[in-house]
Amino acid sequence: MPSTKKQGIIFGLIMSYAMAYGMEVYNVAVKEGFNLNIGGFSTMTNQVFLDALIEASYMGIFVFIFSNLIGNRVGMSFAAAHTDPSKDNPYFCQLMRQAGTIAVMCPTMSLVAAILFNVILAHASIVNLPAVWVGTFIKNFPMAFFWNMFAAAPFTRWSFGKLFPQQSKSHA
């Protein structure tokens, strides 16, 4: 899709913030107890979306940095190891790249979140960081996987196509 450095940065920012916002909506809702109440997530209020927007404003920066440092590279390597672009369906190749990226980004961002929200902001003991990190990862992985596959990535490709329509047509 992106063919220039500038387009790659724009694509990466859209994806980073789409992932950060979706994950923050989920985590804020869980933190506020909507998954435990009668009715679960169906009882969420609009405040969840505002609180998530605030957290996503800075978490998106971390997503962008770590995806550019390691996430995208691992995703490409994973796809290259498990697909053959000359034989496999392009959509399958794309999904495998996404899966590889999620496999490294979810534990990475779970560590960032555990350090930021539990150790720094909540003053939890750093001794418990490994357990908090694992718990954060276990809670977030299913959401990260499905949010990326079915919401963030399609939204990012659609948005990028609207911003750069000629680019999208030449790669169709």
Q: What angle do CA 89, 1, 5 make, to 5 degrees?
A: 140
Per-residue model confidence (pLDDT) at position 42: 77
Spans of the chain, pLDDT less than 50:
none
**Cα–Cα dist 50/25, whole Å:** 9
Neighbour count for residue 136 (Cβ, 10 Å): 22
pLDDT digits (tens, 9 = 90+) for 43-85: 788 999 999 999 999 999 999 999 999 999 999 999 999 999 9
Amino acid identity for residue 109 in this structure? M
Cβ pair 38, 77 in contact under 8 A: no
Cβ pair 79, 100 in contact under 8 A: yes
Residue 42 carries which DSSP code?
G
Residue 106 burial (C-beta neighbours within 10 Å; 0-12, 13-18, 19+)? buried
Dihedral of the alpha carbons of 101, 107, 108, 110, in degrees to the nearest 10: 130
Q: What angle do CA 86, 2, 8 make, to 5 degrees?
A: 125
Backbone angles phi, psi at 81, to 5 degrees: -75, -25
Q: What angle do CA 35, 23, 7 make, to 5 degrees?
A: 160
Per-residue model confidence (pLDDT) at position 4: 94
The model's pTM is: 0.90
